[in-house]
Copies of this chain bind each other. A is one copy, B any other.
């Protein structure tokens, strides 16, 4: 390989210390999901094209695969890279249904690919973290509450990130409202309301009349519904004040009230859940609860964690598998913060200790001391050369390694190069006085609060 390669737009890569940030996020999410009984799976990166193209509007984003030397043009034509983790998960559930136990809780953290034009917060390769609970035939509503709680708790543990606002709504509520109002085309009404985050309300109001066939009064009520956002169940009274009635609306109000009442106690300064009646999730096939999430100060990124309830996540014609889940855009949150230098790790390497080497003849002794440290879980590395000690210390400093171990007459001494303190140490038992020094840690360099004006360019 010659000449310096240039980055591929839309395919972000991290330096080792930046990757530590991503690993910390993935580990925190994974552990939280597991504490709630969610098991991990991975699905293959590839799905048949007919499955990937079920939703017409994403077809433009699919990467099609072809073997370079493929002779029979038709044979491999049918495969593409997955663009989310929901389509492959639905297929996995059907394929392995006989070997799974329902309700089935799973989390899945993998890369997905979309061939769309790269732009801020949008990538061609990115990592998603999904949790879903899937039932066979039925799935009680309390699982909607459960996934909300689990994701809230997981996000709340990512204290080095900006805050999260989880916005919840319910399709039964809005569809029941539009139907109770006498809207001639409930689906179209919902699709237009979904444009409120990109278009002024007055414009959406006009479209509701022209495209969804509403009267001016009906359109005004739909817009008014969408302005309701509360941190408790007071949205119920606000909706009732609009004077619309339907059975479906009542069901939606009850579900959303249950969810908000059960999750509001989990609000912290870092994460909060709100009932936001403007959330519709456009064209997706949700049938009840719907979620979106904004990252405080980075609202221009759009929703970074979305999902909801599907009454039919998958079906094989005989059995239907309802599901409820949320998908966090890990890269979407991390890449902008890491690339701006706002998040990094405090070390470039995992090592807590550098073992100094006085001369090449004593390398075997240095290796032995390193093995003694590793035997009780202290990560370390041996100096690659026998340079002057000052140079070896600078080697450690550049990498963020906090300690250097030196052989002395008949023993060892260890230097904390941050304080300069140097004390006798036995590599068979030494461990840093602060356990925190055993592994690299995420540090917020500067404010991660963000500046939405800067984001919006």
Partner of A105, one of B8, B15, B19, B349: B349
Inter-chain contact A19/B36, CB cutoff 8 Å: no
Partner of A69, one of B60, B68, B363: B60
User: Given the interface contacts A1-B51, A101-B348, A113-B45, does A106 sit within 8 Å of B37 by beta carbon?
Assistant: no
A111 at the interface (CB under 8 A from B): yes
Report A1-25 CB contacts with B as 1/0, cut-off 8 Å.
1111111100111111101100100
A64 at the interface (CB under 8 A from B): yes
User: What distance in Å separates the Cβ of A418 from its nearest Cβ neighbour in chain B?
Assistant: 18
- Size of the chain A interface, CB-CB below 8 angstroms: 94
User: Given the interface contacts A1-B314, A91-B1, A350-B37, does A44 sit within 8 Å of B125 by beta carbon?
Assistant: yes
Q: Tell me which residues across on chain B come within 8 A of A41, comparing CB atoms.
A: 13-16, 19
A287 at the interface (CB under 8 A from B): no
Using CB atoms, name the residue of chain B closest to A12.
B44
Report A277-301 CB contacts with B as 1/0, cut-off 8 Å.
0000000000000000000000000
Interface residues of A in 50-85 (CB under 8 A from B): 51, 54, 59-70, 76, 79-81
User: What distance in Å separates the Cβ of A363 from its nearest Cβ neighbour in chain B?
Assistant: 6
Interface residues of A in 85-113 (CB under 8 A from B): 90-92, 94-97, 99-101, 103, 105-106, 111, 113
A399 at the interface (CB under 8 A from B): yes
Please, how many angstroms separate the alpha-carbon atoms of A198 and B384 in the complex?
39
A34 at the interface (CB under 8 A from B): yes
Partner of A1, one of B19, B62, B90, B96: B90
Inter-chain contact B68/A115, CB cutoff 8 Å: yes
Inter-chain contact B381/A36, CB cutoff 8 Å: yes
Partner of A67, one of B19, B115, B314, B316: B115
Please, how many angstroms separate the alpha-carbon atoms of A79 and B314 in the complex?
33
Q: Tell me which residues across on chain B come within 8 A of A7, comparing CB atoms.
A: 95
The complex is assembled from copies of this chain, and their number is 2
Inter-chain contact A384/B13, CB cutoff 8 Å: no
Please, how many angstroms separate the alpha-carbon atoms of A349 and B48 in the complex?
29
Partner of A59, one of B5, B69, B384: B69
Please, how many angstroms separate the alpha-carbon atoms of A161 and B94 in the complex?
31
A238 at the interface (CB under 8 A from B): no
Inter-chain contact B398/A101, CB cutoff 8 Å: yes
Please, how many angstroms separate the alpha-carbon atoms of A68 and B43 in the complex?
22
Most buried by B among A54, A61, A101, A399: A101
User: Given the interface contacts A1-B315, A106-B16, A381-B36, does A111 sit within 8 Å of B65 by beta carbon?
Assistant: no
Which A residues are within 8 Å of any B CB, using their own CB?
Answer: 1-8, 11-17, 19-20, 23, 34-46, 48, 51, 54, 59-70, 76, 79-81, 90-92, 94-97, 99-101, 103, 105-106, 111, 113, 115, 125, 135, 140, 142-143, 146, 262, 314-317, 348-351, 363-364, 374, 377-382, 384-385, 398-399
Shortest Cβ-Cβ A-B pairs, 10 listed = A37-B381, A67-B115, A16-B39, A34-B350, A11-B44, A37-B351, A60-B69, A35-B374, A62-B68, A5-B95
6 A-B contacts, Cβ less than 8 Å apart? A6-B95, A13-B92, A15-B96, A35-B380, A63-B66, A67-B115
